[in-house]
Structure 1
Amino acid sequence: MARRKLALAATGRDEVAFQSWAINSVGRENARQWNSGKNLLEHLVEFSNHGQDCIEKLIIFSHAWPFDPNGNRGGVKIGGPDINGFYLNQRLYDHQDARYLSDLAKLIQTGQVKFCEGSTIIFTGCRVASSEFPEELAKLTRSTIIAANGSSFPKQGNPPGDQTGEWMSGVNLWEEQQAAKNGWYVGWLKYQYNPSTQQVTEKKVGKKTKQGYVYDVW
């Protein structure tokens, strides 16, 4: 069984940057673009080779969510209307090509998608951690999940983070800045599934800087 690496770059707004980052992270042969939740899951089936291989590292480059102190719906979306992404659960206005954790669960149960033991899934979209989505994904895939609880972007510098793989999670706009001053955590979170207890632990990760918190995505 081959252990595969895969990076998925969202289409739409900023797709050129997403695709470049995906190639930088895992190589051109392991990078794909995704244009819907349906398409995202198709790539997981492809790289699992219908269960003959397993995915040991998955990086999803995409847009996600603006700051909301009440959290968000959970998941990721392409650069456009929020109707056909990959989400925690379904909403009435979603496009027919949207997909959900329940759809991934069916593919895992039927052996079409397989994650390796000790696998890691990383999201670079803003505030993916501000929902139950990463915890539920950790339970489903038994993977370690890394996600930002703040505004996510490549680290500035020379060379920049989109070349070195260093990614920031920090603040954006006044409301989030004020929330951070009052104790709101805007860094990276790590979710690990414990097979003995069948529980997920949550841990703050990354190095704190003036810009935010740095995490090495690749």
Structure 2
Amino acid sequence: MARKQLALAAAGKDENAFVSWAINSVGRENAKKWSSGRDLLDQLVQASNRGQDCIEKLIIFSHAWPFDPNGNRGGVKIGGPDINGFYLDRRLYDHQDARYLGDMAQLIRAGEVRFCEDSTIIFTGCRVASSNFPVELAKLTGSTIIAANGSSFPKQGNPPGDQTGEWVSGVNLWEEQQAAKEGLYVGWLKYQYDPNTQHVIEEKIGQKTKQGYVFDVW
């Protein structure tokens, strides 16, 4: 069984940057584009070789969510209208090519998508951790999930983070800045599923800097 590394770059707005980062993280051969939730799951099926191989590392470069004190719907989206991404659950206005954790669960049960026992899934989109999506994904896949609870971007510097793999999760506009001053954690979070307790353990990770919390995506 081959152990695969895969980076998926969202199509649409900022597509060129996402593709460049995907190539930098896992190499050109393992970097693929995705243009919908349906396409994202198809890429996982291909990487798994319909269950003959397993995915040990998955990085998803995409857009995600603006700051909302009440959280967000959960998931990731391409650079465009929020109707055809990969989400926690269904909404009435979603496009027919949108996909959900339930769709991934069906593929895993059917043996068409397979994650290695010690796999890691990393999201670079802003505030992916500001919902129950990473917790449910950790339960479903058994993977370690890493996601930002703030605004996520490559670390500034020379060389910059889009070359070194150092990414920052921090604050963006005034409302989020005020929430951070009042105690909102805007750094990276790691989620690990414990099969013995059937609970997901959440851990704050990353090095705190003036820009925010720095995590090595690759």
**Partner AA of 2:153 in structure 1:** F
> What's 1:95 paired with?
95
**Alpha-carbon distance in 2 for matches of 1:120, 1:14:** 24
Alignment of 1:181-196 (within 5 A): 181-196=181-196
Q: Does 1:22 align with 2:22?
A: yes
1:119 counterpart letter in structure 2: S
Counterpart position of 1:110: 110
Q: Letter of the aligned partner of 1:34 in structure 2?
A: W
Equivalent position of 2:119 in the other structure:
119
Deviation for aligned residue 1:197:
1.2
Q: Which runs of 4+ in 1 moved over 4 A?
A: none
Q: CA deviation at 1:195?
A: 1.3
CA distance in 2, matches of 1:13, 1:135: 28
Equivalent pairs counted in the alignment come to 218
> Deviation at 1:198?
1.3
Q: Deviations over 1:75-125 (max 9, x none)?
A: 000000000000000000000000000000000000000000110000000
Distance in 1 separating the partners of 2:140 and 2:117: 13
In the alignment, what sits opposite 1:134? 134
| Offset, 1:12 | 0.3
Over aligned residues, Cα RMSD in angstroms? 0.3
Amino acid at match of 2:147: A
Determine the structure 2 residue equivalent to 1:205: 205
Describe the SS at the equivalent of 1:200.
strand
Q: What displacement does 1:196 show?
A: 1.2
Cα deviation per residue 1:188-214 (whole Å; 9 max; x = unaligned)? 000001111111000000000000000
Superposition deviation, residue 60 in structure 1: 0.1
Distance 2:165 2:115 in 1: 23
Q: Which residue of 1 aligns with 2:35?
A: 35
TM-score normalised by the chain length of structure 1: 1.00
- In the other structure, the counterpart of 2:5 is 5
Q: Which residue of 1 is the match for residue 163 of structure 2?
A: 163
Partner of 1:76: 76
Q: What runs of 5+ residues in structure 2 fail to find an aligned partner?
A: none
- Alpha-carbon distance in structure 1 between the residues aligned to 2:161 and 2:55: 24
- Secondary structure of the structure 1 residue equivalent to 2:111: coil
Alpha-carbon offset, residue 26 of structure 1: 0.1
